[in-house]
Structure 1
Amino acid sequence: MGNTILTPSIIAKEALMQLRNNTVMANLVHRDYSQEFVAGVGNTVTIRKPATFEAQEFDRSSGIQIQDATEGSDTVVLDKLLDVSFEVTSEQLTMNIRDFSEQLLIPAMQGFANKIDLYLLGLYNDIPDAYGTAGTTPSAVSDITGARKILNDNKVPFANRNLVIDTAAEDKFLQLSTFHEADKVGDNGTAMREASLGRKFGFNIFMDQNVIPHTKGTLTGDEGTVKIKGAVSAGSTQLVIDGTNLTGTLVKGDILSIGGKTYVIKENATAAANEIAVKVYPATTDIADDTDVTITGNHTANIAFHKNAFALVSRPLALPRGLSSEQKAIVNYDGFGLRVIYDYNSQYKKDVISIDMLCGVKTLNPELACRLLG
C-alpha cells in the first residue's frame, strides 16, 4: 500500500474538495470543526456561537458603554456517522487523482452532500415563523419579500441571508424576468450556476432537491371549536387545546396560529378526551381562554435564513491504531472534516477505501429563519 501513488492524504483532500463543491446547505450555515477533539458517535460537544452586540446611543455625559465581547455556546450531539466504503483495484489506485475523483470520489461525496443537506433542511421543524400559503408553490417576488419582511421584523442581520427552495419553486421563479433576463439580473447571467439563482432581494438564493415536505398531524375537531383551554400566561411553553370531537395528533414542526402569533410544536402529541397538551416554541404571550387555534396545512418547507440560524458540527474519529500511517489520514478545512482509511480484505484479496465523517446539526436561533411555504 505504501508504494501506491494515491495515498490516503491525497484522497482525503480531494474528497473534501468534492464535498464542499457538491453540498448546498452545509456551505450556508455556521460550521464548527476541531481537530483537537477526537470524538465518538453520540458524544455531546460544546460549540462557540458568534457574539452578539446591541448598538447603543452615544451619550456625551456618560461616554461609551463597554459591552462584553463574549461568544455564546451551545451543545450539539454528534449522532451522524456518514460512511462510504468501496473496493478498489490496483489499476484504480495508480490512476491520476482527477480520473480517480471522477470515477469514485465525486459519486461518493454526492452521497455525503445529500445526507448533510437532508440533516440541515430537517431543522425546519424548529422554525415557528412562516410566510405564504401551505400547499401553494411560491411564484412571485412578493413571496420572497414577504419572507424578507419577517426576517426584517425579527431584526436579522442583512449579511449572510440565504433562501433555499425546492425544484417547484425554482421553476416558478426562473419564469420571472427578475431571474432570467441578464440585464435585470445585473450580473450578465454569471450567477446562473447549477444551484444558484443569484442574489436577489437581500438573499443568496439556491435550489436544493432535498428540501423537505412537512406533513401535519391528524388533529381534527368540529369546525370553529378548536381553541385554547384556559388562559395562558406570558412565558409559557405548554398549551392545552380542546374542541368538540377533537381527535388525532400534532407532530413536531406543526405550526399553530394563535392570537396573531405563530408557534411551532416541539414534540409529538396525541389528543385524548377531546383535548391535547403540547409543547411549543417560542414562549407565549398572554393568551385568553377560548382563543381560536389554526393549524398550518401540509407544505414544502423552503427556508429563508441567516447563516447563524443553524450549525453543522464535525469532529474527527480516532485513527485506527492497527494500521500504518500510510493507510490512514484525517483532513479538515473550513469547518469540514473527513477520515480516510485504506484496508485490505485478505479473504477476497481486495483493497478497500473507507471515507467517513462524524457530525451533528442543530438550530442555534430559530428567530433567524423563516419558512417559505410551498
Structure 2
Amino acid sequence: ADRDCLSLYKQIWNWVGSPGNTLNSFADLALGPQRLDEMAVPQDERNVVMGPADSWGMIGSLTGLTLSDQSGSPQAEAYRMARLGRVANLETYMDQNVQRHTVGAHAGTPLTDGAQTTTYANMLTSYQMSLVTDGWDASIALKEGDVFTIDTVFAVNPVSKDTLDFLQQFVIRADVTTNATTTADTTLTISPPIITTGPYQTVSVGVPDGATITYKGTLSTAYPQNMVFHKNAFALVTVPLEMPDSVGWKARQTDQEAGLSVRLVKDYDIDNDVEIIRADILYGVEAIYPELASRISGTA
C-alpha cells in the first residue's frame, strides 16, 4: 500500500531542490515547508517521507550539531536512535519504497505552440488540460510525472493571487511520444490547468506562443521522489473484506479513525502439512489535493 501511495508523486507538480542531490542539511529540508507556505498550505499535519539515502543524509546533518543532554532532543534522537522526529514543522518518515522517477528524453528546443489558457469550469472534474507544443526532437518519449516550467508563466499566491518570484511548475499526466516531425505539434496532458483569473487562478499570465519549455532534471536520469505534504493531499481508502466461512480461523481488524481494514485467515494445507496465514487489504489511493504537496531534492 505504501508503494502505491508513494507512486502518487506523478500527480505532484511542485518540485523543489536540485534533482540528483541528497537532502543533507536543514536548509535543504526547509525548501519543502517553504514551498508549502508559498502555496498557502495549512501549518498543521505536515509530513515528509524520504528514501534511505536522504533520510540518513538528514540524520547526519543533525548529529553534527551539539548534542543536548536532554533525552528526546532531535540531536540526541538522531544520534542514538537514527530518528529525526519533528523537524521544520514536519513529521519525518523514512520509507525504502520511495519511488524513483526516470525523466523523459526531453531533447530538442521545445516551445509552446499558440496562446493557451482554460477555465476552472472546463477542468472541474480532471484538473488537467491539453498543452500544444512543438520543437521537440522527433519520436522521443516524455513520461508521466515529468515536471517543467514555461518561460514568463509565474506561480501565484493561491489566496491573494499575487505573482510569486518563481515560474509555475507543471507535471505531465500521461506518457506521450513526440511527433515524428520536429516542426509538428505534440500535445501534452498537464496539471495544473492554466487559469489566469478568478478564485481558482493558477498562473500570472496565459501561455504565450513560442514560450520556452524547461524541464526539471536531466533527460533519461532517475531521481528519488521524496515528498513533503499536508495530510489532506492524499487519500488511502480501504473496504472491509467479506469473511470466508470454510476456514479454521479468521479475523478482521478495522480502525474507524484511521480508515483502515485488514483481514486475516488461517487454514491447513493437508498436502504439504503446513498452516497458511493470509493477510488481505482492499484499498485505493488518490492525490485529492495535489497542490498541498511537493517533491523535494537536496541542493548542490
Pairwise same-fold verdict (TM > 0.5): yes
Partner of 1:202: 89
Partner of 1:358: 282
Match of 1:240 among 125, 132, 140: 132
Q: Normalising by structure 2, what TM-score?
A: 0.77
Match of 1:276 among 170, 176, 186: 186
Higher strand share: 2
After superposition, where does 1:284-295 map in structure 2 within 5 Å?
Answer: 284-285=194-195, 286-295=206-215
Shift of the alpha carbon at 1:136?
1.6
| Preserved CA contact (<8 Å) 1:196 1:207 | no
1:113-158 superposed Cα distances (whole Å, 9 cap, x missing partner): xxx2211111111100110011122323222222212101111111
Determine whether 1:329 maps to 2:251: yes
SS state of the match for residue 183, structure 1? coil
Determine whether 1:300 maps to 2:187: no
SS state of the match for residue 10, structure 2? helix
Determine whether 1:144 maps to 2:29: yes
SS state of the match for residue 68, structure 2? helix
| Preserved CA contact (<8 Å) 2:137 2:178 | no
Across the aligned residues of Structure 1 and Structure 2, the Cα RMSD in angstroms comes to: 2.4
AA aligned opposite 1:229: D
Q: Normalising by structure 1, what TM-score?
A: 0.63
Which blocks of at least 5 consecutive residues in structure 2 are unaligned? 120-127, 154-166, 196-205
Determine whether 1:228 maps to 2:112: yes
Partner of 1:52: none
Aligned-partner Cα distance in 2 for 1:269–1:161: 33
SS state of the match for residue 371, structure 1? strand
AA aligned opposite 2:189: K
Aligned-partner Cα distance in 2 for 1:117–1:179: 31
AA aligned opposite 1:232: Q
AA aligned opposite 1:289: D
The alignment covers a number of residue pairs equal to 254
Aligned-partner Cα distance in 2 for 1:335–1:171: 31
AA aligned opposite 1:262: Q
Higher helix share: 1
1:345/1:186 CA distance change after superposition, 3 Å? closer
Aligned-partner Cα distance in 1 for 2:207–2:70: 46
Aligned-partner Cα distance in 2 for 1:195–1:312: 28
AA aligned opposite 1:162: N
After superposition, where does 1:149-164 map in structure 2 within 5 Å?
Answer: 149-164=34-49
After superposition, where does 1:33-52 map in structure 2 within 5 Å?
Answer: none
| Preserved CA contact (<8 Å) 1:165 1:207 | yes
Shift of the alpha carbon at 1:289?
0.3
Aligned-partner Cα distance in 1 for 2:17–2:69: 25
Q: Which has the larger radius of gyration?
A: 1
Aligned-partner Cα distance in 2 for 1:124–1:241: 24
**Identity among equivalent pairs (%):** 31
Which blocks of at least 5 consecutive residues in structure 1 are unaligned? 1-115
Partner of 2:164: none
Shift of the alpha carbon at 1:185?
9.2
AA aligned opposite 2:230: H
